[in-house]
Chains A and B, each alone.
Chain A
Amino acid sequence: MGEANGTKIDIRDLSVRYGPKRVLRDVSFAINRNEIFAIIGPANSGKTTLLKAINRTVEFIPEARVSGNIRIDGEETFAMRDVYELRRRIGMVFPLPVGLPLSVYDNVAYAPRMSGLRDKVALDEIIEDCLRKAALWDEVKDRLDTLGTMLSGGQQQRLTIARALSHDPEILCLDEFSIAIDPVTTMRIEDVLMELKERITIILVTNLVQQARRLGDRTCFLNDGEVVQVDQTDVIFSDDPGNKLTHDYVNGIFG
């Protein structure tokens, strides 16, 4: 099963429609343990919906109809009874920076507290660790009691990353995480991602094909709700990826 061949997430025939609109069409691929799996594709290709299907927040969209299945460690996610447990196993960062209207400290402490952690020392440790990984610690360590909503856009984005790490996920999904963050800080976070993948599996959705190229072990090219190609990142970015559409997209000829 999953353990043997190193598959962490196995997506089979996943289709999602919002009312009459088909957003994902028979998407199938597998993501390996401890890899950075990059997903690239033009706007409206279904990348964000794919992530929402993985942590089942797609169920909050009233019109959404999902078919197919996703297995994490061989276990069928759509059949899981404790969906909250599933979501805690997955750290999720969406492109819109969201600071919750709580202090910076409470933002990061939110998930650990929700799962019952009250010990101050343990919380302090988690918060410093997560904020460091998100490259935000140095900027906020002296004002952990400011409102998360008062931070700048880029800081809020990194706060979102810190929150996603706060529940110690096995899988980290990043959707355009660097959109509001300056290049230097982005590089620092990218370094952290390279370290993190020793322990966890990372899905990186990005419009910046160069970011996919730098970080991705393998890359998936998604277009109009369908998988065009999944391959080793160097193949996707080579002169001849074996698919004209992929070649045109990564070279900026369309998209």
Chain B
Amino acid sequence: MTQKKLTTQKWVKVGLALVTLAILIPLLLVLGYLLVKAWPALSWDFLTDIPRRGMRAGGLWPALIGTLYIVVFSLAAAAPVGVMAGIYLNEFARDTWLTRIINLAVVNLAGVPSIVHALFGMGAFVLFAGLGKSILAASLTLAIMTLPVIIVATKEALASVPMSFREACWNMGASRWQTIRTIVLPNSVSGILTGLILEVCRAAGETAPIMFTGAVFYKAVAPGDLFPYTPGEQCMALSYHLHTISTQVPGVPEEMLYGTAVVLVGFVLAFNSVAIIARMRIRARKKW
């Protein structure tokens, strides 16, 4: 009997491990294929130079820095609102019909297709708020789109802090907010950071929401200029740039297309790794 149990356990373990490894295959294939195809185009100049000869030569600088602008602005708008809403929903809100509706809305907001967000953004920010097609309008559209991810991640991170910690603080006369500030938040930062990482990845990769609200086909900037845009104007962006050179411009060398994709993936990974390192530092410091 025990023998049989052990054998079953072994097969289950092997099966699960194989499935897990299988996940890596498409990931490695995609990355490998992209890298091989892009190899001839990849150079430092490809990052820091501006597009030349009608996008058929030169580099990506305005698109790269544009994506950075959009990501930073959307994060600045979505992070505080999302984290605060998450704190309220998990720590303060009682279980009433209003809270349930809000929670339902958050979940549904996460399920709305990005093209719908794009149209909403155009109506609300570009036209109604009078921001015009601009970095600001594009960032706010992305912020609305990524808000649910941040709220849900924040709620889950807070919920993972044991209730007994809160009770111990309340018993000593600490208020809800004192407890949140001193015990709950410091121990859920890593989870909240994960939510923000996901936000960055989505914001950097999305094309549809920025297409109508702020991304532009070409913008003349100086190569390597760190502050080429103001928030009120339109900018180039990696995802939109990839879309246009793949579909709108004939005769772009293939390696430039793949190169752009590699830079986009690399951008997301770079942002990710900063956040992952920050997470690991925080996790290593605290544990129960």
Q: Which residues of B contact A160 (CB under 8 A)?
A: 168
Q: Are A88 and B173 in contact (CB under 8 A)?
A: yes
Closest 5 CB pairs of A and B: A149-B288, A88-B173, A87-B173, A111-B172, A92-B171
Q: Are A84 and B173 in contact (CB under 8 A)?
A: yes
Q: Interface digits, A62-102 against B, CB 8 Å rule (1 contact, 0 not)?
A: 10000000000000000000001111100010101011111
Q: Are B187 and A101 in contact (CB under 8 A)?
A: yes
Q: Measured between alpha carbons, how far is A147 from B174 in the docked complex, in Å?
A: 20
The size bracket of the interface on A is 20 to 34
Q: Measured between alpha carbons, how far is A96 from B168 in the docked complex, in Å?
A: 10
Would you call A219 an interface residue if the criterion is a C-beta within 8 Å of the partner chain's C-beta atoms? Answer: no
Q: Are B173 and A85 in contact (CB under 8 A)?
A: yes
Q: Measured between alpha carbons, how far is A149 from B164 in the docked complex, in Å?
A: 12
Q: Which residues of A contact B172 (CB under 8 A)?
A: 87-88, 92, 110-111, 114, 163-164, 166-167
Q: Which residues of A contact B167 (CB under 8 A)?
A: 57, 60, 94, 98
Q: Interface digits, B175-190 against A, CB 8 Å rule (1 contact, 0 not)?
A: 1001000110011000
Contact residue among B171, B286, B287 (Cβ-Cβ distance under 8 Å from A55)? B171
**What is the distance, in angstroms, from B4's C-beta to the closest C-beta of chain A?**
37
The closest CB in chain B to the CB of A57 belongs to: B170
Would you call A152 an interface residue if the criterion is a C-beta within 8 Å of the partner chain's C-beta atoms? Answer: no
Contact residue among B94, B168, B175, B178 (Cβ-Cβ distance under 8 Å from A100)? B168
From residue 245 to 279 of chain B, which have CB atoms closer than 8 A to chain A? none
Q: Measured between alpha carbons, how far is A232 from B167 in the docked complex, in Å?
A: 33
The size bracket of the interface on B is 20 to 34
Q: Measured between alpha carbons, how far is A92 from B174 in the docked complex, in Å?
A: 13
Q: Are B173 and A147 in contact (CB under 8 A)?
A: no
Q: Measured between alpha carbons, how far is A61 from B286 in the docked complex, in Å?
A: 28
Q: Are A147 and B182 in contact (CB under 8 A)?
A: no
Q: Which residues of A contact B227 (CB under 8 A)?
A: none
Q: Interface digits, A40-64 against B, CB 8 Å rule (1 contact, 0 not)?
A: 0000000000000001010010100
Would you call A115 an interface residue if the criterion is a C-beta within 8 Å of the partner chain's C-beta atoms? Answer: yes
Q: Which residues of B contact A94 (CB under 8 A)?
A: 167, 171
Q: Which residues of A contact B286 (CB under 8 A)?
A: 101, 147
Q: Measured between alpha carbons, how far is A88 from B170 in the docked complex, in Å?
A: 9
Q: Measured between alpha carbons, how far is A96 from B172 in the docked complex, in Å?
A: 15
Interface core residue of B165, B168, B174, B175 (most chain A CB under 10 Å): B168
Q: Which residues of B contact A92 (CB under 8 A)?
A: 171-172
Interface core residue of A88, A111, A114 (most chain B CB under 10 Å): A114
Q: Are B94 and A115 in contact (CB under 8 A)?
A: no
> A98 and B168 in contact (CB under 8 A), knowing A88-B173, A114-B173, A167-B173?
yes
Contact residue among A86, A100, A147 (Cβ-Cβ distance under 8 Å from B287)? A147
Q: Interface digits, B187-208 against A, CB 8 Å rule (1 contact, 0 not)?
A: 1000000000000000000000
Q: Are B287 and A164 in contact (CB under 8 A)?
A: no
Would you call B169 an interface residue if the criterion is a C-beta within 8 Å of the partner chain's C-beta atoms? Answer: yes
Q: Are B183 and A100 in contact (CB under 8 A)?
A: yes
> Can you pick out 16 interface pairs between chain A and chain B where the beta carbons lie within 8 Å of each other?
A57-B170, A57-B171, A60-B167, A84-B173, A86-B173, A87-B171, A87-B172, A100-B165, A100-B169, A101-B286, A110-B172, A110-B174, A111-B173, A115-B173, A149-B288, A160-B168
The closest CB in chain A to the CB of B168 belongs to: A98
Q: Are A101 and B173 in contact (CB under 8 A)?
A: no
> A164 and B173 in contact (CB under 8 A), knowing A98-B164, A101-B165, A110-B182?
no
From residue 188 to 229 of chain A, which have CB atoms closer than 8 A to chain B? none
Interface core residue of A57, A84, A85, A98 (most chain B CB under 10 Å): A98
Q: Measured between alpha carbons, how far is A198 from B186 in the docked complex, in Å?
A: 39
The closest CB in chain A to the CB of B167 belongs to: A57
Q: Measured between alpha carbons, how far is A160 from B175 in the docked complex, in Å?
A: 18
Q: Which residues of A contact B178 (CB under 8 A)?
A: 114
Q: Interface digits, B118-144 against A, CB 8 Å rule (1 contact, 0 not)?
A: 000000000000000000000000000
Q: Which residues of A contact B168 (CB under 8 A)?
A: 98, 100, 160, 163
**What is the distance, in angstroms, from A159's C-beta to the closest C-beta of chain B?**
10
Interface core residue of B170, B173, B287, B288 (most chain A CB under 10 Å): B173
